């Protein structure tokens, strides 16, 4: 298993709006505009980061529909060999 450190951190945005909610496909930029200059109120909260080992990082990447190679890992969390 990789000896490198990886981190997972959750950031939550709570939005209050009047008349209608934001659309589900709004971008982060759109959310930022809505709560800073738009018609919504919002608060951003951060959870403490969680340290992951290589195996956990590979699994988390796959759960996000990404690929372990994003961090140069195999699916088992080993360091991928450079080509």
Q: What is the mean pLDDT of residues 17-46?
A: 96
Total residues belonging to the chain? 83
Provide the domain limits for residue 38: 6-71
Q: In the prediction, which pLDDT does 7 show?
A: 98
Q: What is the mean pLDDT of residues 64-72?
A: 96
Mean pLDDT of the chain: 95
Q: How far is CA 54 from the centre of its chain?
A: 17
Of the chain, the percentage scoring pLDDT greater than 70 comes to 98
Q: How many domains does the chain have?
A: 1
Is the alpha carbon torsion for 29, 10, 4, 83 positive or negative? negative
Closest by Cα among 41, 45, 43, 35 to 10 = 45
Q: In the prediction, which pLDDT does 83 show?
A: 47
In a domain, 51, yes or no: yes
Q: In the prediction, which pLDDT does 65 show?
A: 96
In a domain, 55, yes or no: yes
Q: In the prediction, which pLDDT does 82 show?
A: 61
Q: Give the other-Cβ count within 10 Å of 72's Cβ.
A: 13
């Amino acid at each position: 298993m990789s000896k490198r450190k990886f981190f997972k951190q959750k950031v939550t945005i709570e939005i209050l709006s009047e008349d209608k909610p934001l659309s589900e496909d709004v971008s982060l930029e759109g959310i930022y505009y809505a709560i800073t200059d738009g018609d919504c109120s919002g608060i951003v909260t951060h959870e403490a980061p969680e340290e992951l080992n290589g195996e956990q990082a590979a699994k988390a990447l796959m759960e996000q529909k990404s690929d372990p190679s994003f961090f140069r890992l195999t699916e088992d969390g080993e360091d991928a060999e450079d080509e």
